[in-house]
Chains A and B, each alone.
Chain A
Amino acid sequence: MDWLTTVDHKKIGILYLLGGTLFFVLGGIEAMLIRLQLMFPESNFLDAQTYNEVLTMHGTTMIFLAAMPLLFAFMNFIVPLQIGARDVAFPFVNALGFWTFFFGGIMVNVSWFLGGAPDAGWTAYTPLSSSEVFSGKGNDFYAVGLQIAGLGTLMSGINFLATIINMRAPGMTFMRMPLFTWTTFVSSLLILFAFPPLAVGLFLLTFDRLFDANFFEIGAGGSAVLWQHIFWIFGHPEVYILILPAFGIISEVVSTFSKKRLFGYSSMVFATLLIAFLSFMVWVHHMFTDGLGPIANALFSVATMLIAVPTGIKIFNWLFTMWGGQIRFTTAMLHVVAFIPTFVMGGVTGVMLASPPADFQYHDSYFVVAHFHYVIVGGIVLALFAAVFYWWPKMFGRMLNETLGKLAFWLFFIGFHLTFFIQHILGLIGMQRRIFTYLAEHEGWAEMNLVSTIGAFFMAAGVILYVLNIVITSLKPRNASADPWDGRTLEWTLPSPVPVYNFKQLPLVRSLDAFWAEKMAGNKEMTPAEPVGPIHMPSNSILPLIMAFGFFVSGFGFMYAKHDFANDFVRMLFENHIVSIGGLVITAICMILRSLIDDPGYHIEPEELESKGVKA
């Protein structure tokens, strides 16, 4: 019950980890289905319609329901610890953010059981996705489910920003924050500005699909290209929302396991900000073949190439952090070390894609599929695995098995390159994206697709071992010290796992790499910034779950308002919008209750702190 009503950022982080892992496994199964279908030419393992649903759900699930939540798990758990705070700015909203993500994700996936999943690609181009003539009910779930999940993301973005702006411990200036906190901050800025356009796009799509609007109805003057602009103004920053926290993880792990401070800290901060700014200037590079004209194409081409510069700066700074260091190849560091060359490979194909005339060949071919999997899987997923091994002791008080971890890594890494390197070639010999099958007469396609599928089996084996590692470790007793890696940042000053109140006394920060600075000065602990005193904690609440559930119910109400139900009573409920409005009323009532009833919270007294009897 505690888990359903918690407002503690640490528990919410763990909930995101669980939810994200669940959807990661779902998305992974969808990936295996794709590869199985494409293993042989003209296979009928999956029929055309099912394949289109699987490929749509693979992309949608992985980006929105796996990668983002897994990153949020770490941002939520670790950032308050790194800045010396006791929680985020809005614990209640934090919980609400999780539950809306969760219910949104369930909604998108329940489509499988209710007539079919969305089938227009994760990009849902109109009018394929917006007109009943061209697509089925599945795309309703896409529009409404993602809308709900997106609300949660936006809330969390605001939460992280306010937390980092207002709640840093005394002495922690912006330029003394760890890079993971910086990238969380900048990524949250991107969320703040990129998710509202997505929300609008999804509203327009919903209105066209459910309420007879005409935004994308060509016959009524609507515009198919309008959707693309709105989607990609969100969609491009989205991929930087994903990669920046991953960059932050890399910075933390590289620094710790090289025993060196991050090389070029200010440049890294500046590069992060520049990447974020530029990410809003490049969206048309997804639309080079739309016929927008050479001026638009040329401008966006140059802007896209420019993003390579701050990204390159980061790569070199990581390499030079390792230069002259003492590198320990723990499992976490192994992932980070593998990230660097892999991500650079993905990045350089990005620069290749930035050239419109060349892109006229690459676009919508497997070359693009190879590029983005290199940066997303080779980039974000490797960084996430690194974070898992790095921060697991802090989160759960246990050390994951290093041997099993390294075995899982090698299986996954080798499989990854087997699967995706060859896809560059497939694209360059003319294989388009999103095709459910191909003819045997295409020279080389069958062999290359087979290799690609074999790689997928390796990756699946790796993932199984990762999960096995977690299961085995969870069965063992707690064995982690507060600082198993000889860390540099504030989270390593706390016990493993972390008590519910985080810091007994908020620390005084005197430098970048706050903990390391104290260690170098001969101190075993941080200097406190306040006396021991009663700690005020926010109360648990069931309202976030109920509010998210209200949105969930309402979504169904709108989607099924015109559905021909067999049962008359049920039809009456939906037709008269009792369900749709009712769901919103549930949410509204919770909001009113939250506003009218002030939460006094509760206090943890100093005696409880001294005895260390308060469990996380």
Chain B
Amino acid sequence: MSSHAHLENQPLPAEPERATLEGRNKITGFWLFLAGETTLFGTLFATYIALRNQTLSGPTANELFDFELVALATFILLVSSLFSVLAVNAMHKHNVKALQFWLFATVIFGLAFLVLEIYEFNHYTELGHTWSKSAFSSSFYALVGFHGAHVAFGLAWIASVIGQLFKKGLTTVTAPKVYVSALYWHFIDVVWVFIFTVVYLMGKVG
């Protein structure tokens, strides 16, 4: 590993996340991981599509979904993704304060999304749409729940990155962590767009 560059005493490069081999490896590795996650969610989508009409005696998609709530949640998540873009921009400008602010905003909005989703699931269970009700309900919670779990994990991750920025500042070691967690957050957002379309839109209309 002799190409590991000791850059503590030098000025921070323009794209600090790519300045070291470790950083470049992390970014490459993470894009690859996201490719794998794409097939993972793809399989969950396929399962949902195959089983979405098997509602038995439980409520159907059309009966369950409330567009207002879902639209609000979607808006919140999309905005949080915008915030993470602004965060990475700030990082490239080496503006650590702004970086921390925008990451914090991302987490707040992400939390709001999660709260709405928990409220939504709770409401559904009251209507009889529980995990074990039918093949439709199982596949709904598997797909949307898996996404929610990804959101929760992402929030914990970004929070930890914020903490590390406070402790160690922006370096060629912390920069890749910011970049990669932002990639993850965008991915979660893109998956949500598909969920919104396939589950909620198609559920109400199709």
A residues lining the B interface (CB < 8 Å): 86-87, 89-90, 154, 157-159, 161-162, 165-167, 192-197, 199-201, 203-204, 207, 211-215, 217, 220-223, 226, 229-230, 233, 506, 530, 533-538, 592, 595-596, 598, 601
Contact = CB atoms under 8 A, between A and B. Distances in A.
A557 B170 CA distance: 40
Given A86-B1, A162-B25, A221 B142 contact: no
A596 B164 contact: yes
B139 A199 contact: no
B134 A220 contact: yes
Contact of B51 (A161, A226, A592): A226
A537 B2 CA distance: 8
B160 A595 contact: yes
Nearest to B168: A598
A215 to B, nearest CB: 6
Nearest to B177: A595
B142 A536 contact: no
Q: Is the contact region of chain B dominated by helix, strand, or loop, or is it mixed?
A: helix
Given A221-B55, A226-B47, A538-B1, A199 B40 contact: yes
A535 B1 CA distance: 6
A548 to B, nearest CB: 18
B13 interface: no
The residue among B134, B160, B168 with the most chain A CB atoms within 10 A of its own CB is: B134
Contacts of B47: 200, 204, 215, 226, 230
Interface in B138-184: 138-139, 142, 160, 163-164, 168, 173, 177
B164 A223 contact: no
A229 B131 CA distance: 23
Contact of A214 (B24, B25, B135): B135
A206 to B, nearest CB: 11
Contacts of A194: 39
Given A166-B28, A203-B142, A535-B2, A214 B134 contact: yes
A596 B177 CA distance: 11
Contact of A221 (B32, B51, B164): B51
A214 B138 CA distance: 6
A87 B22 CA distance: 12
22 contacts: A89-B25, A89-B28, A158-B29, A162-B28, A167-B25, A193-B35, A195-B36, A196-B43, A197-B43, A204-B142, A211-B132, A214-B138, A215-B135, A221-B134, A226-B51, A530-B2, A536-B1, A537-B1, A596-B163, A598-B168, A598-B173, A601-B1
A196 B39 contact: yes
A272 B4 CA distance: 34
B160 A215 contact: no
A213 B138 contact: yes
Interface centre among A194, A214, A596 (most CB of B within 10 A): A214
B202 interface: no
Contact of A162 (B32, B134, B138): B32
B24 A221 contact: no
Contacts of B51: 215, 221-223, 226
Contacts of A199: 40
B56 interface: yes
Given A207-B142, A229-B46, A534-B2, 11 more contacts: A86-B2, A158-B36, A200-B40, A200-B44, A204-B142, A212-B132, A214-B137, A215-B51, A222-B135, A222-B138, A596-B164
B113 interface: no
A167 B168 CA distance: 28
Contacts of B160: 592, 595-596
Contacts of B39: 192-194, 196-197
A166 B136 CA distance: 44
Nearest to A159: B29
A230 B36 contact: no
A530 B1 CA distance: 12
Nearest to B138: A213
Contacts of A592: 160
A537 B137 CA distance: 50
B2 A536 contact: yes
A12 to B, nearest CB: 16
B142 A213 contact: yes
B54 interface: yes
A204 B164 CA distance: 36
B36 A154 contact: yes
A158 B50 contact: no
Contacts of A221: 51, 53-56, 134-136
Contacts of B133: 214, 220
B2 A533 contact: yes
A222 B50 CA distance: 9
A165 B134 CA distance: 45
B6 to A, nearest CB: 9
B33 interface: yes
Contacts of A222: 51, 54, 135, 138
Nearest to A93: B29
A154 B36 CA distance: 9
Interface in B9-43: 21, 24-25, 28-29, 32-33, 35-37, 39-40, 42-43
B151 to A, nearest CB: 16
Contacts of B24: 166
A87 B1 contact: yes
Contacts of B56: 220-221
Nearest to A216: B135
A165 B163 CA distance: 32
A220 B135 contact: yes
A445 B33 CA distance: 49
A69 B163 CA distance: 38
Contacts of B32: 158, 161-162, 192
Nearest to A229: B46
Given A221-B134, A536-B2, A193 B28 contact: no
A211 B40 contact: no
A167 B2 contact: no
A188 to B, nearest CB: 9
Contacts of A538: 1
Contact of A207 (B35, B138, B173): B138
Given A196-B37, A215-B139, A226 B50 contact: yes
